[in-house]
Chains A and B, each alone.
Chain A
Amino acid sequence: MTGAGVTRITYREAVKQAIREALAADSRVFLMGEDVGKYGGCFAVSKGLLDEFGEERIRDTPLSESAFVGAGIGAAMGGMRPIVEVMTVNFSLLALDQIVNNAATLCHMSGGQLHVPIVIRMATGAGRQLAAQHSHSLEVWYAHVPGLRVVAPATIDDARGLLRAALASPDPVIIFEPISLYNMEGELTAAASEVRLEGARVHRPGSDVTLVTYGASLWRCADAANELASGGIEAEIIDLRSLRPLDDATILASLRRTRRVVIVDEGWRTCGLSAEIAMRIVEQGFYDLDAPIARVCAEEVPIPYPKHLEEAALPSPARIVAAVKRMFSDGQ
């Protein structure tokens, strides 16, 4: 992008610009996945790239996640810089063996001789009425695995900037793109060119409670924070950005300012990322807590298809506001 100017683009366009820039900057980079070429990508992220870069670098694959992710791992080991698109995180389970047993382990098992600099992009989450087989948030499955780096861009700047940082990493990086954010429009700032792979970010400063979140839930938290502010409660929002490694220092620094934490995660509550974050807070910040840690997560059901049920299953600004108010008083 150009200098310090501010441009309004969609999240989808930001991701596309990032891919285009990577393809132009490094001949080892190529994009591979189901329908990424002729169809322009299931979510239209790569529309037009086939014409621009040709079939060698924008490669349509069969419906065979295990095979094409495995091929991407091989290409990365062979010196290429593949960007592999898996249509949704639900389908990535077919490639779990390649990612967990190969991509994540080879550096360790080769004593550091083999690196797997693959970037795997996956759409994740609900909100578009795509039903249970396309709508889950399984980020924690990957955040669990040593050897992987897992990031979740929630802003236009991160959508634009994280890919460059991911391609620069010698380790496999999983990028989670929330389905519900592709149409979101926002400002692209100069900061996008300096995005780092690691580290959380204070999205909104506040003094009374910390909302720890990532991905699409960031914007639900932003809405909730606005409503809370009108009631006199200033919420600080932490956008995790990186789900592995987690940035404990930023979370704990915020806790020391606010003394209260609500974790908002579109994943399920049981054994989820929210549990891991809460435990880290307890381990490292117990004496700074002024209230029990609270969680707002997806309901423990496969994400429903009907719109009203889908909405009811997800963390909503109203549920976040209610969780915060419960921390301050019984009946407020």
Chain B
Amino acid sequence: MASEFRLPALGADMDEGTIVQWNVAPGSVVKRGDVVAVVETDKGAIDVEIFQDGVVREIVVQPGTKVPVGTVLALLEGAEAPSVIGPAAGVPSPVQPAATAARLKISPAARKRASELGIDVATLQGSGPAGAITLEDVERSPRLSRSEKKEAVEPKAGEGMREAIAAAMSRSKREIPHYYLSTTVDVTPAMDWLAAHNASAPVAERLLFATLLVKSIALTCDEMTGFSGFYRDGRFEASPAVHVGVAVALRGGGLVAPAIMETAGKSLTALMDDFRALVMRARAGRLRASELAAPTIILTSLGESSVDAVFPIIQPPQVAIVGAGEVVTRPWVVDGAIQARQVVTLSLGADHRVTDGRLGAQFLARVAQRLADPGSL
């Protein structure tokens, strides 16, 4: 009945990781998807999920140990085992319910406030009895007072992350024959729509332009094959679901691109919530392994950096990446007359082994069409 829980690759270029913390102990009941451990990687501390149900029999690798990907971290019993075999038969006792191991201690008021502020509670440190997170912990959280608490929570993007980015980008430029396309799109209707929406929406429901972009890309990937998926073993595998990754620059340098899962099916508000939470957790170094490995296509938006266009590099094994420059006001010809319009330059970096420029051009055009009708997103 015993099975092995091995250190998964938490990203394309991860070779090894350091166990920082176990959230389970021998006897803990675990379910697929439970966060069982925190592992330090080049990309920061990552919550590692388990992929099968069962009961932890033994912790093999202790915290502080650095091990290669694939190392057995813990041994599991099948889920049925403990219910038929009593403690006398050698199953460690007492059996701890999974809820006890995984459930965060946070007061209802704190949880509610964190939700209002868009703060991921997993990033907070509890100061209450038994380490419970209180309202005060939320209100003093780094998100609200960035300047004071910066060092305490931000992962230091040191050499490790630089090396990881170097490895992934070198591999990309070495292996992937990129082609690039770009188009400048009049997004005045989208910006007007956003301004109107945000004027009446409560703070928590206000949207960023990036949300519209993410949704437009996801819907376009859903209807066109060849852009969302992975190139492995000499062939393209389309991904059944679209998970758009968003590149998040870390303040200490470096970047990560966690996925907004099942992007195409989500409302704009839900996407915004996810986006906000991802940025928050990315900067606190609390991303989940599945979020980092999941993107099927990435959006990199340098919107606030005053560049017109981005020529992005695909993250292997993905096959496409979309870039967006700053939304700027430019003279634009509308119905034969020059008007001041808000425009953005979208670019596509795509894998020529999978698609050609003609399809790429259609892809960008479809994204632009969707942005022109933001009400339908």
Contacts from A to B (Cβ < 8 Å): 259, 286-291, 326-330
Q: Which residues of the other chain, B, contact A287 by a CB distance below 8 angstroms? A: 108-109, 111-112
Cα distance A291–B110 in the bound complex, in angstroms = 9
Contact in complex: B129, A327 (CB < 8 Å)? yes
Contact with B134, one of A290, A326, A330 (Cβ below 8 angstroms): A290
Determine whether the beta carbon of A291 is less than 8 Å from that of B130: no
B129 to A, closest residue via Cβ: A330
Task: Tell whether B86 is near chain A: CB-to-CB under 8 Å.
Answer: no
Is B129 a contact of A259 with CB atoms below 8 Å? no
Provide the B32-70 mask, 1 if CB < 8 A to any CB of A, else 0.
000000000000000000000000000000000000000
B110 with A326: CB separation less than 8 A: no
User: CB-CB < 8 A to A291: which residues of B?
Assistant: 107, 128-129, 132, 134
Contact call B135/A259, Cβ cutoff below 8 A: yes
- B108 pairs with A289, CB closer than 8 A: yes
User: How close is B174's CB to chain A, nearest CB, in angstroms?
Assistant: 53
What residues of B have a CB within 8 angstroms of the CB of A289 in the complex? 107-109
5 cross-chain pairs, A with B, having the tightest CB-CB distances, nearest first = A290-B109, A290-B107, A287-B112, A290-B135, A287-B108
Contact of B109 among A259, A326, A327, A329 (CB under 8 A): A259
- Chain A neighbourhood of B112, CB < 8 A: 287-288
Known: A259-B135, A290-B134, A290-B135. A326 touches B129 (CB 8 A): yes
CA distance A289 to B109 in the complex (A): 5
Please list 10 pairs of residues, one from A and one from B, whose beta carbons are closer than 8 Å in the complex, sorted by A's number.
A259-B107, A287-B109, A287-B112, A289-B109, A291-B132, A291-B134, A326-B129, A327-B129, A329-B128, A330-B129
Which chain A residues border B129 with CB–CB below 8 Å? Answer: 291, 326-330
Q: Is the CB of B128 within 8 A of A288?
A: no
Nearest B residue to A282 by beta-carbon distance? B108
Of all chain B residues, the one with the shortest Cβ separation from A291 is B107
Q: How many angstroms from the CA of A327 to the CA of B130 in the assembled complex?
A: 10
Q: How far is it, in angstroms, between the C-alpha of A261 and the C-alpha of B109 when the chains are bound?
A: 13
Look across to chain A and name the residue whose beta carbon is closest to the beta carbon of B115: A287
Q: Which residues of A contact B111 (CB under 8 A)?
A: 287
Distance in Å from the Cβ of B288 to the closest Cβ of chain A?
Answer: 26
For the A-B complex, the count of residue pairs with Cβ-Cβ distances under 8 Å equals 36
A259-B135, A290-B135 known; A330 vs B110 contact (CB < 8 Å): no
Contact B130 A330 (CB under 8 A): yes
Residue ID in chain B nearest A331 by CB atoms: B129
A19 to B59, CA, bound (A): 75
- Indicate if the CB atoms of A288 and B130 lie closer than 8 Å: no
Chain B min CB distance to A279 (Å): 15
Smallest beta-carbon distance A326→chain B, Å: 6
* Closest-CB distance, B119 to chain A (whole angstroms): 15
A96 to chain B, nearest CB (A): 39
- CB-CB under 8 A from A259, the residues of chain B are 107, 109, 135
Chain B, residue nearest A325 (CB): B129
| Residues A286 and B128 in contact, CB atoms below 8 Å apart | no
A286 to B108, CA, bound (A): 6
Name the residue on B nearest A255 (C-beta): B109
A288: chain B residues at CB < 8 Å are 108-109, 112
Q: Among residues 126 to 148 in chain B, which have CB atoms less than 8 Å away from a CB atom of chain A? A: 127-130, 132, 134-136
- A289: nearest residue on chain B (CB-CB)? B108
Residues of B within 8 A of A327 (CB): 129
Give residues 79-115 of B contacting A (CB, 8 Å). 107-112
List, in ascending order, chain B residues with CB within 8 A of A328's CB.
128-129
The interface residues of chain A lying within 8 Å CB-to-CB of B107 are: 259, 289-291
Min CB gap B19→A, angstroms? 27
A262 to chain B, nearest CB (A): 14
Return B344 CB to nearest CB of chain A, in Å: 40
A283–chain B nearest beta-carbon distance, Å: 12
Tell me, in angstroms, the Cα distance from A259 to B108 when the chains sit together: 10
Residue with the highest number of chain A CB atoms closer than 10 Å, among B109, B134, B135: B109
B137's nearest neighbour on chain A, judged by CB, is A290
Contact between chains at A290 and B130 (CB < 8 Å): no
Candidate in A290, A291, A328, A329 with the most chain B CB atoms within 10 angstroms? A290
User: What distance in Å separates the Cβ of A188 from its nearest Cβ neighbour in chain B?
Assistant: 40
Shortest beta-carbon distance from A255 to chain B in Å: 9
Instruction: Give the complex CA separation of A259 and B136 in angstroms.
Output: 11
Please, which residues of chain A bring their CB within 8 A of the CB of B135? 259, 290
